[in-house]
Structure 1
Amino acid sequence: MPRPSRKTKPTPEPTGGDDTGLHLTPPGLGLVLLEARAPWEAMAMAAVFPWLSRMPSGDGHAVLVFPGLGASDISTLALRRFLKQHGYQAHGWKQGLNLGPRDGVLDTCRERVHQLHQQHGGKISLIGWSLGGVYAREMAKEMPDLVRCVITLGTPFTGHPKATNAWRFYNLVSGQQSHDEDLLAEVRKPPPVPTTSIYSKTDGIVAWQCSINPTRHAHTENIEVHASHIGMGMNPLAMYAIADRLRQDPAHWKRFDVQGARRWFFKVAHQPEMVTQWY
């Protein structure tokens, strides 16, 4: 397999045509070892919290956060605390460990979305970390009238599950197979609401190309941050991007702007000329 090119030029849609991402491989050992930096990301979050706390507060709408594979609401506690401190009504998914979409899991997710929508009297935002982002996207596809926006963190919604280092664990704990092509084709489709993918090219679990939204949709975007997969939900850059996206008015939604100082910390892949070629 050729090495990813760093050139930026017009390229075909990453998820278009018949490309199923089978050419992609999971992150290598070097990136896996870099996952050990997650505690440093948590410490960085604590260090820059006074700066993050100066960001404008949100409008108070409800946010439902889905954990990643093998994780529970404990893993999203720091993120939900951050959201509450910025004025949002942040909630966990309340299903214990995320062991895949086993019997009853998605039904309970649907009930949770309906419950929070009724409880708070308005559309809610959905945030999903890793596999949790797949749940968030699917809930938004099924119930777009109840969902304000979707934000995913290191979520492998395109490409192929075997381009992650977690597919064997997923098969084991979920009791399902990760190579159902019909299901994968549905998962690749973006929700009909503003949808943001936050990803890292140094992700040690998910090949970053699996987290790229197609660029032809005006309501989708991709934001690159420097983060590990395990630490993305505690990474200060990811937190900043999340808070910025949640403040967007869905009726006048605009893609993340990397002008000014932001260009030193973030990269985006919204337009065809900015999509990095990897094949």
Structure 2
Amino acid sequence: MSTTWWQQSVSLREAIARRAAFAREPHPAGIAKPPLQLMLAELRSLYRGRSKGPEIAPAVHPMPVMLLPGFGSHPRRMKPMADALAAAGHQVHEWGLGFNLGPNQHNFMFLMRRVGSIARMHKAPVALVGWSLGGLFAREIARREPHMVAKVITLGTPFSGDPRANNAWRAYQVVTGHSVDEPPIECDFSVKPPVPTVALWSPRDGIIAPRAACGWPEERDRAVAIRCSHLDFACAPKVAAEVLRQLDWEE
């Protein structure tokens, strides 16, 4: 028992030391990130009252939709989005994992099974709407299992370029315990999934560099600019209205 305690103690110290080293990593030269004033402006989104929702018209193509929250956030943060999609007639599902604390083999396989279960339940492929890190999960699921996915809509998701082109990469490494260069699942986020793929991005994003969330033409089918903060991607009425338009868009 003492050996087990000692091994656990050593493992804990190693984990703390690894995370401390991640926190001290300097931002690489030449890699763009949003300026400090935009990052500070994100704080206003946390205290802004809920705005009136968008005008809801019935969906042209009602479909099952799964919402995937951003890093460190809970599905409750996306409830305004879920309410708007449901009001339009879409069958809305949470991702089923609570807070998004980063990928691992277990939670990624859970999501793969969940998407498959939803697709079988509705006898139709599922649209994946992913905010920030949630969009990376969505793109990878669609890349691996395109027959289960109707389309992917990402909201401020850093799928293009250097994984440090943002103001969140150190926090991500400290929480997850792994480098942004070495994700625990095999993936290539810049490869466009073989399904319709839409990237919503913002020039006012204080967390993710706009180019990282917009991507290049070969990395997505469409890119749509929305002037909002990164945190507002989850709940702003104008974002929900654009997601509704993109779900109805016929390729």
Match for 2:55 among 41, 52, 70?
52
User: Which amino acid is 1:74 matched to?
Assistant: R
Contact residue 160 and residue 216 of structure 2 kept, 8 A: no
Query: What is aligned with 1:68?
Result: 70
How far does residue 39 in structure 1 lie from its aligned partner after superposition?
5.4
Distance 1:119 1:31, change over 3 A: same
Query: What is aligned with 1:247?
Result: 248
Is it true that 1:28 corresponds to 2:30 in the alignment?
A: no
Give the fraction of aligned pairs with identical amino acids, expressed as a percent.
31
Contact residue 192 and residue 218 of structure 2 kept, 8 A: no
Distance 1:186 1:238 in 2: 26
Distance 1:57 1:212 in 2: 26
Ranges in structure 1 where 5+ consecutive residues have no aligned partner: 1-20, 254-279
Distance 2:188 2:160 in 1: 10
Matched ranges for 1:201-240 at <5 A: 201-216=203-218, 220-240=221-241
Match of 1:211, SS state, is helix
- Paired residue total: 223
Contact residue 154 and residue 198 of structure 1 kept, 8 A: yes
Match of 2:139, SS state, is helix
Is it true that 1:196 corresponds to 2:203 in the alignment?
A: no
Ranges in structure 2 where 5+ consecutive residues have no aligned partner: 1-27
Runs of 4+ in 1 over 4 A off after TM superposition: 39-42
Distance 2:205 2:137 in 1: 20
User: Which amino acid is 1:226 matched to?
Assistant: R
Distance 2:242 2:48 in 1: 15
Contact residue 196 and residue 222 of structure 1 kept, 8 A: yes
Distance 1:123 1:92, change over 3 A: same
Match for 2:141 among 124, 139, 142?
139
Distance 1:96 1:36 in 2: 22
Give CA deviations for 1:24-57 in whole Å, capped at 9, x if unaligned: 322111001211342587643x1xx3x522x342
Give CA deviations for 1:126-177 in whole Å, capped at 9, x if unaligned: 0000000000000100111111100000000012221111111111111211
Match of 2:129, SS state, is strand
Is it true that 1:101 corresponds to 2:108 in the alignment?
A: no
Distance 1:130 1:115 in 2: 24
The normalised TM-score by structure 1 is 0.74
Query: What is aligned with 2:160?
Result: 158
Contact residue 126 and residue 149 of structure 1 kept, 8 A: yes
Distance 1:203 1:75, change over 3 A: same
Distance 2:85 2:147 in 1: 23
Contact residue 77 and residue 235 of structure 2 kept, 8 A: no
